[in-house]
Chains A and B, each alone.
Chain A
Amino acid sequence: MSAPRRWSGLLPAATEPAVSEKRACPSPARGTAFASLALEKRTHRMDDALFAHNLEALESLSPEAAARVRAADVSGIVPATAASGAVILEDEGRALDSRRDPVAAAERLAGSVTADHVVLIGFGSGYVAEALLRRGVHVAAVIDAAPRTLAAAMRARDLSPVLRAAPIAFLEDLGKPVALAALRRRAEVAVGHPASVQSSPELRELLQKWTSIRVSGRRPRVLVVGPIYGGSLEIARSSQAACRSCGAEVRFLDFSAFSDGRTMFDGLPLPKAARNGLAGSLVTLLGDAVVQVASEWRADLVFALAQAPLGAAALDTLRERGISTAMWFVENVRVLSYWREVAAHYDWFYSIQVGRPLAQLAEAGAREVRYLPLACDPARHQPFELTEVERARFGADVSFAGSPYLNRLRLFSALADVPLRLWGPGWAVDPFTSQAAEGGRGFSLEEMVRIFCATRVNLNLHAATHVQGIDPDPDYVNPRTFELAACEAFQLVDRRDPLPALFADDEVTTFSSLSELRELITYYLEHDEERRATAARARKRALADHTYVHRLRAVLDEALPPELAAAASDGDAIGRETLEQALVRLSGAPVLSPEEAMTRAVYEIQAIGQARL
């Protein structure tokens, strides 16, 4: 096959912006990689093994599409090699992705997408879908004209990560208005795969229809601020994902990298007051960063987790700038005390505790105090099919995974006759040396889920640093309760005041004394079915009522202005297409059209105007 004798410049185009324009520009016209031509093509052997591997992935998420792909005729579509070495598809001689560098071209297109959730119209060789996912864009669905392109791509490239992440649908599946409406609810922006949209009038029409019908009011912008230290980082991560699922645009500020910086001051040869002052300066600095990001991005809500570096001054500045602030204090107010200094400066203060702590927060000046229990993240906490090796490594009749606080040390020392494994740093001390798993090391979240699932009876004793047994102030429920439930792992948990409102007796089993705990361990080790049934009910309840999405939905409903809260909850709201969305739509065209050039000119003026404001 002879190569085309038409080509364009080989080196990256001029990208030096003017002095006043050093800001990020969403233009896909910026900075191409050093590209060269697709001068040589070679036929690739259709790889049946690869196809089977991809098909398995497709079946896991899109079984209906898998059935169609399995039966598809791929004649006329052949793989070829782009100049960059990447494999692309050619349909009757027409390349479905860039002949020069499909990865770079897809990156450019994906880089112009500002939405968090999109529908991709046209699959091609898969590079655009991959680029979108790499950039953290949630691809709610990929819609293609017919299964033949995907079937050919699945024979040429390993697409399993994409096929496991993005549902696939074909035009004929969308005949029912319900199906289309369901997809619209999941993504307000459609991104066109250039070659597919160019060659298929139906896809082109769908793309146009999407943007003309599927237009929405502005979505709320939520800035999630993670902790500088402590255990709330994972909760922050789950919270930001939940905000996104609620329909908000989300940015996450992860300050955990500064944890070492904070403790570094402890080692300085200075009086304690001076060291505290320095640590306070660090918090002030990071708080300024939050203020700048929130202001620059025009956040509607700053949602902070316990130990987020936000002081009173930063919070007041945010309020002056019209940005709402909320704190989810996922710690025990009896243990930490810094909340007294900041409670009055948040617009909303959420506590995981009930009773007296809520009153204490109000006394400290908090304006709106709410009880907001912890939750599970179904994407991370789920039943796990263990291999034999994993079962041997993580399994036990009875386990506890967590830190050795005083009350746990005392209680577990009284269980010397129980087949108990203790996971976590600090357990490899007398008298627990033989029970400490793997030398008393720490464990990751992935390992924690395996421990939960491999254990017959998980112990869940809430921490108390000041007592020798069960926590006498049982006014909150720890995250482990929800996580074990979501993992469908059986647990015995010490009795807590808020627990009956969260789980029924036949969903989570509680104890209130050492003797009761011993009896329950013995009973449930002998009653496998009852144990499994209880765990299954707990999982069902956790997913139904206690996910982070449930929690964040409640926060957004309260803390956002009504119209923005509605936009977050109702993804199908009808409004006007935004300028940015229009640009994304236009960017799907294969060449710069006059319409896009004019729209971009307006965008540039808007951006310059905003920068000056």
Chain B
Amino acid sequence: MRRILVLQMCRLGDLLQTTPMLRGIRREQPGAEITLVLHDGYRELPVPRSLFDRLVPFPYGAILEGLRAEPGSWPEQVGQVRAWTESLGPGTFDLAINLTHTPLSSFLMSLVRARRIEGAMIAPDRTQIVRGPWTAYFWAGRIARAQGCFNLVDLQNWAAGVQSDAHSLQVDVPAQARDSMAAWLAVQRTEERPLIAVQLGASEERKRWPPECFAAALNLLPGSLDVVFVGTRAERPLAERALGRLSRPAFDAVGLTSLSELAALLERAAVLLTNDTGTMHVASAVGTRIVDISTGPAFVHETGPYGKGHLVIEPATECFPCIAGSTCGHIGCREAISPADVAALVLHALGLGPLPRPGKARILTGSFLSNGRVEYRTAWPRADREEHLRRMLARVWESTLPVPGGAARELDDEPGLAAGEAGPVVEGLRAVAAAASRAARHADRIPSETPGGWASALTSIRDETVAMRRLAELEPACLPLVRFLELRLASCADTDLAVVSSAYARELRLTAKRAAMLADLLEGRLALTA
């Protein structure tokens, strides 16, 4: 029996986004035993039990409590980590997947005995490395965010080697929770009308459209719609701010629901109006249509609502989305989205109005492609240069990295860019392709060289890589390719000369291929010959 470990130490939304991957492993490897590792803080586990076999909580909260109470008690806390390691069992896992991108999870992965590891870990030489091409893609994307083209859910599926199945996330909704919310709603209203659920909070300020704006948008909706605010107790102050500006009736469920009850309530809503939040992923899992206001670091192409027909409004500002780890002093992107546009988008989602045409924002909608993955495309205004580039990049990645189920056919007919637009980009890409090819030839010759020749070859590879990085700094389209290459080379933790030189040559050749292919696509050549 295959044993698979999945380490997921993130928040609710991330946990729900893991459910398609668990479902895929169940579907494609029915005999495998799945061990799921989460924080110990989940009192109510939203992941259906059918998707895993063993749950081994990591004692995160217990350790933190212990350290807060007695900072000198760390030896006892190390003992808790040791006990956790032992609780994983004596055998070796066939596959261990780290879906968390933190040093903590990397250290934990270095403690797991596994034949194959996907994701970040600490190598024996103490360097942090990333195993697996799709996880490396995700890490590279942290630098080149604007060029990101795959949803996290699909990346997780592919990292685990399973196909995306064109179905959404999953969450358990117990019958008791359904009954409870039905009863609560019955008390609130006298007749059943379309219900708009509203989630005001988000994990950080940059992702939070102001509550006053939510109120202004809701005030523009017809009285024939019901509105209910949802959220946690910590989000009450936001609710108070919105309610203070609201000139229409609304139900207030903020802080009243358990996770299951939230899912049950969202199930009954016609639309969820929300920032990029865990609640959004719950709505996705119960099949409720979502209108997502995406600001700051929230980026629909990475973590947008997973599913078909959801609508996303995002600012058409130059600095959007925020680069990972950046700080923002203005949060000006939130002002690009007007309450009138949001109200119109909600009506459109309900089939009660046309698609709005905001002046400073874009509207995107999601759909599943032929290989089962999700894609967001611009509904208003027309697809711009960045979107064309993103689709071409997606085609390049899908053609050169292993995609279970194959590449999406829809990308084959993407037109190239106009000559004036493509010129500088193509020039940069061709230079990257040439540098990568030269470096690959240097890597090829290492096994047959004398020690002195190795040093010279390595210096040449280094120089070419530096040259590629400089090109990427000038032309952002090259950045994801070069950053990915750097991560792959840096994560080559093998110690055998022949193996490492061969891996280097392979990665360098693939980079050359990707750069050349993207250049061809931009010039429209590949599309014509395909």
Contacts from A to B (Cβ < 8 Å): 2-3, 5-22, 25, 27-30, 32, 34, 36-37, 39-40, 83, 108, 575-576, 578-579, 582, 591-592, 594-595, 597-602, 604-606, 608-609
Q: Establish whether residues B63 and A605, one from each chain, have CB atoms under 8 Å apart when the complex forms.
A: yes
Q: Establish whether residues B451 and A3, one from each chain, have CB atoms under 8 Å apart when the complex forms.
A: yes
Q: Establish whether residues A18 and B458, one from each chain, have CB atoms under 8 Å apart when the complex forms.
A: no
Given contacts A9-B492, A597-B110, contact A605 B455 (CB under 8 A): no
Q: Establish whether residues B490 and A9, one from each chain, have CB atoms under 8 Å apart when the complex forms.
A: yes
Nearest-neighbour CB distance to chain B for A80, whole angstroms, equals 12
B474 on the interface (CB 8 Å rule)?
no
Knowing that A601-B104, A605-B104 are A-B contacts, what are 8 other residue pairs whose CB atoms are under 8 Å apart, sorted by A's residue number? A5-B496, A13-B129, A14-B487, A14-B491, A17-B102, A108-B126, A591-B126, A605-B77
B297 on the interface (CB 8 Å rule)?
yes
Given contacts A598-B85, A608-B104, contact A16 B142 (CB under 8 A): yes
Contacts of B504 in A (CB 8 A): 10
What 0/1 pattern do residues 181 to 196 of B give for CB contact below 8 A with A?
0000000000000000
B454 on the interface (CB 8 Å rule)?
yes
B64 on the interface (CB 8 Å rule)?
yes
- Which of B117-125, B223-231, B253-261, B383-391 lies on the face that meets chain A? B117-125
* 22 residue pairs bridging A and B, Cβ less than 8 Å apart: A8-B123, A8-B493, A9-B129, A9-B489, A10-B500, A11-B489, A12-B490, A13-B128, A14-B487, A17-B102, A19-B297, A20-B102, A29-B128, A37-B455, A578-B72, A599-B74, A599-B78, A602-B67, A602-B81, A604-B103, A605-B67, A608-B64
Contact of A32 among B120, B127, B297, B496 (CB under 8 A): B127
Per the bound structure, the CA–CA distance linking A8 and B123 in Å amounts to: 10
Per the bound structure, the CA–CA distance linking A597 and B112 in Å amounts to: 11
Q: Establish whether residues A14 and B500, one from each chain, have CB atoms under 8 Å apart when the complex forms.
A: no
Q: 7 closest A-B pairs (Cβ-Cβ)?
A: A13-B127, A604-B104, A11-B489, A9-B492, A598-B81, A29-B126, A39-B451
Contacts of A598 in B (CB 8 A): 78, 81-82, 85, 107, 111
Q: Establish whether residues A7 and B500, one from each chain, have CB atoms under 8 Å apart when the complex forms.
A: yes
B417 on the interface (CB 8 Å rule)?
no
Nearest-neighbour CB distance to chain B for A226, whole angstroms, equals 28
B248 on the interface (CB 8 Å rule)?
no
Contacts of A2 in B (CB 8 A): 451
Given contacts A9-B500, A27-B103, A592-B123, contact A602 B74 (CB under 8 A): yes
B462 on the interface (CB 8 Å rule)?
yes
Contacts of A605 in B (CB 8 A): 60, 63-64, 67, 77, 104
Q: Which residue of A lies closest to B503 (CB)?
A: A9
Most B CB within 10 A of own CB, among A28, A591, A597 = A597
Q: Establish whether residues B107 and A8, one from each chain, have CB atoms under 8 Å apart when the complex forms.
A: no
B452 on the interface (CB 8 Å rule)?
yes
Q: Establish whether residues A16 and B139, one from each chain, have CB atoms under 8 Å apart when the complex forms.
A: yes
Q: Establish whether residues A14 and B139, one from each chain, have CB atoms under 8 Å apart when the complex forms.
A: yes
Nearest-neighbour CB distance to chain B for A296, whole angstroms, equals 16
Q: Establish whether residues B452 and A39, one from each chain, have CB atoms under 8 Å apart when the complex forms.
A: yes
B108 on the interface (CB 8 Å rule)?
yes
Per the bound structure, the CA–CA distance linking A608 and B61 in Å amounts to: 11
Q: Which residue of B lies closest to A6 (CB)?
A: B495
Which residues of B, 430-484, contact A by the 8 Å Cβ criterion?
A: 451-452, 454-455, 458-459, 461-462, 465
Q: Establish whether residues B494 and A36, one from each chain, have CB atoms under 8 Å apart when the complex forms.
A: no
B1 on the interface (CB 8 Å rule)?
no
Per the bound structure, the CA–CA distance linking A14 and B103 in Å amounts to: 11
Contacts of B77 in A (CB 8 A): 602, 605
Contacts of B110 in A (CB 8 A): 592, 594, 597
Q: Which residue of A lies closest to B62 (CB)?
A: A605
Nearest-neighbour CB distance to chain B for A489, whole angstroms, equals 50
B94 on the interface (CB 8 Å rule)?
no
Contacts of A16 in B (CB 8 A): 101, 139, 142-143, 324
Given contacts A27-B103, A602-B63, contact A19 B324 (CB under 8 A): yes
Per the bound structure, the CA–CA distance linking A8 and B503 in Å amounts to: 12
Nearest-neighbour CB distance to chain B for A2, whole angstroms, equals 7
Q: Which residue of A lies closest to B454 (CB)?
A: A39
What 0/1 pattern do residues 314 to 336 of B give for CB contact below 8 A with A?
00000000001100000000000
Given contacts A601-B108, A608-B104, contact A40 B72 (CB under 8 A): no
Per the bound structure, the CA–CA distance linking A32 and B123 in Å amounts to: 13
Given contacts A14-B120, A15-B128, A592-B110, contact A40 B451 (CB under 8 A): yes
Per the bound structure, the CA–CA distance linking A314 and B67 in Å amounts to: 30
Contacts of B451 in A (CB 8 A): 2-3, 39-40
Q: Establish whether residues B101 and A37, one from each chain, have CB atoms under 8 Å apart when the complex forms.
A: no
Q: Establish whether residues B452 and A40, one from each chain, have CB atoms under 8 Å apart when the complex forms.
A: yes
Contact of B124 among A14, A592, A600 (CB under 8 A): A592
Q: Establish whether residues A14 and B67, one from each chain, have CB atoms under 8 Å apart when the complex forms.
A: no
Given contacts A29-B127, A591-B124, contact A5 B497 (CB under 8 A): yes
Q: Which residue of A lies closest to B67 (CB)?
A: A606
Contacts of B108 in A (CB 8 A): 597, 601
Per the bound structure, the CA–CA distance linking A21 and B324 in Å amounts to: 10
Q: Which residue of A lies closest to B142 (CB)?
A: A16
Contacts of A3 in B (CB 8 A): 451, 454
Contacts of A19 in B (CB 8 A): 297, 324-325
Per the bound structure, the CA–CA distance linking A601 and B64 in Å amounts to: 11
Contacts of A578 in B (CB 8 A): 72, 74
Per the bound structure, the CA–CA distance linking A8 and B493 in Å amounts to: 5
Q: Establish whether residues B74 and A579, one from each chain, have CB atoms under 8 Å apart when the complex forms.
A: yes
Per the bound structure, the CA–CA distance linking A597 and B84 in Å amounts to: 13
B43 on the interface (CB 8 Å rule)?
no
Nearest-neighbour CB distance to chain A for B444, whole angstroms, equals 15
Q: Establish whether residues B126 and A14, one from each chain, have CB atoms under 8 Å apart when the complex forms.
A: no
Q: Which residue of B lies closest to A592 (CB)?
A: B126
Q: Which residue of B lies closest to A609 (CB)?
A: B64
B409 on the interface (CB 8 Å rule)?
no
Q: Establish whether residues A36 and B67, one from each chain, have CB atoms under 8 Å apart when the complex forms.
A: no
Most A CB within 10 A of own CB, among B100, B123, B142, B461 = B123
B486 on the interface (CB 8 Å rule)?
yes
Which residues of B, 131-154, contact A by the 8 Å Cβ criterion?
A: 136, 139, 142-143
Q: Establish whether residues B129 and A28, one from each chain, have CB atoms under 8 Å apart when the complex forms.
A: no
Nearest-neighbour CB distance to chain B for A601, whole angstroms, equals 5
Per the bound structure, the CA–CA distance linking A108 and B68 in Å amounts to: 29
Contacts of A595 in B (CB 8 A): 78
Nearest-neighbour CB distance to chain B for A378, whole angstroms, equals 37
Per the bound structure, the CA–CA distance linking A22 and B103 in Å amounts to: 11
Q: Establish whether residues A576 and B325, one from each chain, have CB atoms under 8 Å apart when the complex forms.
A: no
B130 on the interface (CB 8 Å rule)?
yes
Per the bound structure, the CA–CA distance linking A41 and B146 in Å amounts to: 46
Contacts of B123 in A (CB 8 A): 8, 13, 592
Contacts of B103 in A (CB 8 A): 17, 21, 25, 27, 600, 604
Per the bound structure, the CA–CA distance linking A46 and B84 in Å amounts to: 54
Nearest-neighbour CB distance to chain B for A305, whole angstroms, equals 32
Per the bound structure, the CA–CA distance linking A392 and B252 in Å amounts to: 89
Nearest-neighbour CB distance to chain B for A487, whole angstroms, equals 46
Nearest-neighbour CB distance to chain A for B164, whole angstroms, equals 24
Q: Establish whether residues B496 and A6, one from each chain, have CB atoms under 8 Å apart when the complex forms.
A: yes
Per the bound structure, the CA–CA distance linking A595 and B103 in Å amounts to: 16
Q: Which residue of B lies closest to A8 (CB)?
A: B495
Nearest-neighbour CB distance to chain A for B456, whole angstroms, equals 9
Per the bound structure, the CA–CA distance linking A8 and B458 in Å amounts to: 13
Per the bound structure, the CA–CA distance linking A32 and B129 in Å amounts to: 12
Per the bound structure, the CA–CA distance linking A7 and B447 in Å amounts to: 12
Q: Establish whether residues A604 and B102, one from each chain, have CB atoms under 8 Å apart when the complex forms.
A: yes
Q: Establish whether residues A39 and B455, one from each chain, have CB atoms under 8 Å apart when the complex forms.
A: yes
Most B CB within 10 A of own CB, among A2, A5, A29, A37 = A29
Nearest-neighbour CB distance to chain A for B309, whole angstroms, equals 29
Q: Which residue of A lies closest to B465 (CB)?
A: A11
Contacts of B486 in A (CB 8 A): 11-12
Nearest-neighbour CB distance to chain B for A24, whole angstroms, equals 12
